[in-house]
Every structure is written in structure tokens, then in C-alpha cells.
Structure 1
Amino acid sequence: MNKAWWAHFWSHTFTSFDEVEAIDPHLNAMALDWKRFTTYQTVDFMRAEIAALREFSPDVPVTTNMMGTYEGLDYWRLARDLDVISWDSYPLWHSDRPDYEIASDTAFKHDLNRCMKRRPWLLMESTPSNVNWASISRPKKPGVHRLA
């Protein structure tokens, strides 16, 4: 394990499996393995759900909510088993970042989702008003929501 994870670098050597935490963000190989494991578990669970749906509604397309550039899962792995790519877009317009940065970030995420299947995608969630998780949530200017 020490060799596979390059744990000797920066003195992260393990002498027992009891020393291994579920995830250590300071050990890149370990964090990557954890993310791969999480993706594997999620895809496995999703495939079981898809199989149950296909049994009773084989012609209904399946999808799930993606969240832009979320780093916790490899969405490209999930995309292989989905019929339609969909994502949740909640750009925080008029916030501490300039609107042109928000617009380019949102456009990038639209393109990213389009690339997963090389065809149109579905906007699963958005909000025409404010969100409840932003520290500052200003009302959107007229017409801005169309950019979400």
C-alpha cells in the first residue's frame, strides 16, 4: 500500500492498516482511491436502480441529477449508464464574483454536460428566485434566469 500510494513521499508511511483513515486529503493517492471507490459504489447502486426501473418501464429514459463540476464523483462513469444527462444549475448572479465570470462558469458546465453523451442535456433544477444557501442572495435582474 505504501508503494502504491507513494506514501513515503512527505513521510506518510503506514506501518499498520489500523493507521489508515477513510480519507486523508494530504495523501493524494489515498484521496483519489477514495473518490474512485465512492464512484464505484454509486455506479453500482445506480445500476441496481436502473435494472429495477427497466423491468417495469423499459422505454422510459433514466437520468440523475449532476451538480456541475462536483468533485466527489466521476460523472463520466455515471454517464455511461444514463440515457439522458441532466444537471442542477444554480448560478449565484450579482454576488461577490462578476457576472461575466458566473456566465462563463455556467456556460462551461453546460458544455461539459453536453459532452458526456455528445447530445443535448436536460436542466433538472434551477431557481427563478434566490437560493437559501448563499451568504448573500440578491434578486436576479430581469432576463438573467434564462442564462441558468
Structure 2
Amino acid sequence: WDWTLNANARALLALTRVAAPAMAPGSSIVAISSLGSVRVLENYTLVGVSKAALEALVRYLAVELAPRGVRVNAVSAGVVETGALEHFPNRDEMLASGAANPAGRLVSPEDVAGVVSFLCSPDAEMIRGQVVVIDGGWSLPAG
């Protein structure tokens, strides 16, 4: 519990406390979350709760840092095949479920990087305190 909360929510807070004072107006902080922050996923309790805390922190930091011209947002990715999945006993099921989306494939690290890059660009100036979902439409269908 403590390790997972520290790795996700507390790490963002610690990073922001150190980095924000030196950040120029127009800078951006982007946290990485997951759909388990808002949906109950099997074997995901600790991570899901820590990502929910991370997303709440993003909203608070977005308001607190707005007067300095620093944007804070999050990207919530669907299933991405990374080493982190090795820690879940239902890894194969997670991969199959993640690929069963309207786009018909898993989210790639490059997909996530593209959204992060956009959020760091001047084009995202008015996006603040938001969680951008990138899941190939997985979270849209009912059932």
C-alpha cells in the first residue's frame, strides 16, 4: 500500500515541490495514470487507488500552479504492454482485454508519448487539470 502510493501519488507531489519553483510560464507537468483509477479492475486495487489519488492531485496542482503559468494534466492509458504487467497474475487476460477495443489493438508506448507531447505543447495551453484517456475506445462500449 505505502510503496504503491509513494510510487504514484507521492512521487508526483515530491517532484512538483522541487521542480515547480524553477519552471517557466508555459511549462507543463504530465502524470501517467490508468483506467483503474475510475474502473474496478481485477488484481488492481493498490494501483487503482494510487492512480485515483494521482488524478486528484493533478487537479489540485493544476489550480495551485496556474498563476505561475504551469499546466498540470494526466494521461490515462489503456493496457500498454510493459514490464509492469509482469506483476499481475492475470497478465494475459489484461492484454487480451486491452486489445479488444474499437481500435482493435493495444495502446502503444508511442501512442502515450504522442499525447504527452501534445499536452506539453503550446497548443494545449488551455487544458488544465484534465485526465486525457487514451485507450483505443475500450472504455466506451457498454458491458
TM range (shorter): 0.3 to 0.5
Q: Which has the higher strand share?
A: 2
Q: Which has the higher contact order (CA 8 A, sep 6+)?
A: 2
Report the TM-score, using the length of structure 1 for normalisation.
0.35
Larger radius of gyration: 1
